[in-house]
Amino acid sequence: MKIVILDGYTENPGDLSWEGFEKLGFLTVYDRTPAEEIAQRIGDAEIVIVNKTPITRETLIACPSIKYIGVLATGYNVVDVTAAREREITVTNIPTYGTAAVAQFVFALLLEICHHTAAHSEAVYRGDWTNCPDFSFWNYPLIELANKTMGIIGFGRIGQKTAVIARAFGMNVLAYDAHESEPGRELADYVSLDELLTKSDVISLHCPLLPSTEGIINKGSIGKMKNSAILINTSRGPLVVEEDLAQALNSGKIYAAGLDVVTVEPIRADNPLLQAQNCFITPHIAWAPKESRARLMQIAVENLERFLRNNPVNVVN
């Protein structure tokens, strides 16, 4: 059994082991694979493991030996799942590995916006505190989260974990989701999208990227938000119309944004958000603590093991 990993570097830049896959077949690992070399590198391999390298219908036709595609992520839009299903190729994903890490990162972004800890630390090292006539100073407004309202759009596992942390900060939690649940009702009040947008001090996005959610944050929805609102996106970049968000930040229509994802990644130099005021952008790292990646690796290996035993799990097609 030949196994090829086409873009293993982000999952394992050297601090984890591919041993689990090595036990299941003859393994070849590439850190990255350019589009023009995808089919060649797959060759006659039966097992293909990818993260963001696209597997198109054309690639599947060119590589008839493929029996299984394992995606090293929750999102699987890099694979033409319809074409895979037509060719009876099993496609799996990793649905639950990053819940704690992503929810934690929501508050890494939010607390930076509330306290500007990095900027204040830089000010101390610059000598601003040493030269200050007072015992304390701050260069930015400081925000307390207690009794503020967090609105969570998309209330699945990560959204609900985010709600648990928000409640620990003393926040009130509103949720909007197409599918309400009893566990969700224990953590938040389900409301309409318009009510969430109107009432929330902080809005955190945790919905999947679907035709119904693409561009859910746009000029119209931003117009319903408080001028003091903070937007957090650790989900998918295309949920936000970036030009509309940049204009809202620059005009003061909303206060701040913390983004770990953008529409085109890596971020383009002409992305309007790079010129937006009070916009904090990180390079898609909410998922990436070592503990989270180790869980991802374990689940990916287990997915393949179950497939080889004719009992597949986490199948998306």
Q: Residue 310: how many CB atoms within 10 A of its CB?
A: 6
Residue 236 is a catalytic residue: yes
**How far apart (Å, rounded) are the C-alpha atoms in residues 284 and 288?**
8
Name the active-site residue from 122, 144, 180, 265.
Answer: 265
Q: What is the mean pLDDT of the chain?
A: 98
- 127 vs 143: CA distance, rounded Å: 24
Give the tokens for residue 174: 């509103």
Other beta carbons within 10 Å of 314: 21
Q: Which one of the listed residues 116, 236, 293, 295 is annotated catalytic?
A: 236
Amino acid identity, position 281: I
pLDDT of residue 6: 98
pLDDT, residue 233, reads 99
pLDDT band at 234 (very low <50, low <70, confident <90, very high): very high
* pLDDT (0 to 100) of residue 173: 98
Q: Does the annotation count 122 as an active-site position?
A: no
Whether the Cβ atoms of residue 174 and residue 198 lie closer than 8 Å to each other: no
**Nearest residue to 225 (alpha-carbon basis) of 182, 250, 195, 186:** 195
Give me the pLDDT at residue 135, please. Answer: 98
Please report, for the chain, the start and end positions of each structural domain, with discontinuous segments joined by +: 2-97+290-308, 99-281
pLDDT at 220: 98
pTM (2 d.p.): 0.94
Average pLDDT over residues 169-191: 97
Tell me the pLDDT band of 8, cut-offs 50, 70 and 90: very high
CATH number, domain 2-97+290-308: 3.40.50.720
Q: Could you report the per-residue pLDDT of 214-230, keeping only the tens digit for each?
A: 999 999 999 999 999 99
Q: Are 315 and 91 in contact (CB under 8 A)?
A: yes
Q: What is the pLDDT of residue 79?
A: 98
The CATH fold of domain 99-281: Rossmann fold (3.40.50)
Q: Which of 116, 284, 293, 295 is catalytic?
A: 284
The pLDDT tens digits for 89-144 are: 999 999 999 999 999 999 999 999 999 999 999 999 999 999 999 999 999 999 99
CA–CA–CA angle 11, 12, 18 (5° rounding): 110
242 assigned to active site: no
Identify the three-state secondary structure at position 214.
Answer: coil
Say what percent of the chain tops pLDDT 90.
Answer: 99
Fold equal for 2-97+290-308 and 99-281 = yes
Residue 40 Rama label (left phi>0; alpha psi -120 to 50; beta): alpha
